[in-house]
Amino acid sequence: MRFDDREDAGRALAAALKEVDAGSAIILGLPRGGVPVAAAVAQALNAPLDVIVVRKLGLPGQSELAMGAIASVAGSVVTVRNDWVLRGAGADALLCFDSVLERERAELERRQKLYRAGREPLRVAGKDVILVDDGIATGSTMRAAVIALDSSGAASVTVAVPVGPADTLAEFETLVDRVVCVNVPEPFWAVGQAYDDFTQTSDDEVRRLLGVG
C-alpha cells in the first residue's frame, strides 16, 4: 500500500485503529512529520490531539544513525541510549554523547515553546495513549517517547504508524500494549518509500495543526 501524503496515511491508520476500539484514547504526534498523520487520526476518531517532542541523538558524521534520543512529556525529559550503536562507534561516540545531548535538548526546549505557545500538555497519567509518527525505521525516537510515557503513568500505550519494518515492529510489541501498522513492506528501505509526497513538514504546519498558529 502507498499513501498520497501524510494526511492520507493518517486516514488509513485511523481506519485500522477503529478496529481496536481506540475511541477513548488521546493522540500524541511525534514532530514534525508525525503530527499531520496524528491530526488526521484524531479527526477521524474524534479524539484529543497533542504533541510529544522527541529528538534523535545522531552519531557525529552519521547523523541518521541514532546513538540515543530524548523525549519531553509532562514537564520532564527522558534520555534513551542506543548501547549497541555506542559500542560499535567506540570511545569517540561516548566522548561526544553529552555535547550532542546538550545541543538536542536545547532544540527540544525550543520546539516545546514553539509548538505549545504557553499551552499546557495533555495529561497522560491514567490515559490510553496512541503514539503516532509518519513511519518507523530503527525506532529510536519512538522508543524514547514510549519510555517517557511509561514514566508518566499512562494506562496503556499504542504505537501507531502507517509504515515500518517487521523487525522493529516486533520489538515494539514487547514494549507497548499494542502496535498498529498499515504497511509492512518487504524489503523495507526507508519510511519515504511508502509515500508519493514525503515533503518535509514545517514548524508552521505543526503549529497550525495543533491550533497554536
**Whole-structure pTM value:** 0.88
Kindly calculate the radius of gyration of the chain based on its CA atoms and give it in whole angstroms: 16
* Residue 36 to residue 6: CA distance in whole angstroms: 6
Which residues on neighbouring strands pair with residue 131, listed in sequence order?
A: 28, 159
All cell numbers assigned to 109 = 526546549
pLDDT digit string, tens, across residues 150-179: 888 899 999 999 999 999 999 999 999 999
Residue 149 burial by CB count (10 A; 0-12/13-18/19+): exposed, middle or buried? buried
Strand locations in 60-98, DSSP E?
A: 62-73, 76-81
Which residues on neighbouring strands pair with residue 62, listed in sequence order?
A: 59
Q: Which amino acid is at 94?
A: L
pLDDT digit string, tens, across residues 110-152: 999 999 888 888 888 889 999 999 999 988 889 888 988 888 8
Q: Which fold has domain 1-208?
A: Rossmann fold (3.40.50)
Any idea what DSSP says for residue 75? T
* Residue 4 to residue 175: CA distance in whole angstroms: 30
Q: For the residues 91-110, what does the mean pLDDT come to?
A: 83
pLDDT band for 15, please (50, 70, 90 cuts): very high
What sign for the dihedral angle of Cα 105, 109, 110, 112?
Answer: positive
Which residues on neighbouring strands pair with residue 159, listed in sequence order?
A: 131, 179
SS3 state at 100: helix
More confident call, 89 vs 18: 18
Q: For the residues 188-206, what does the mean pLDDT come to?
A: 95
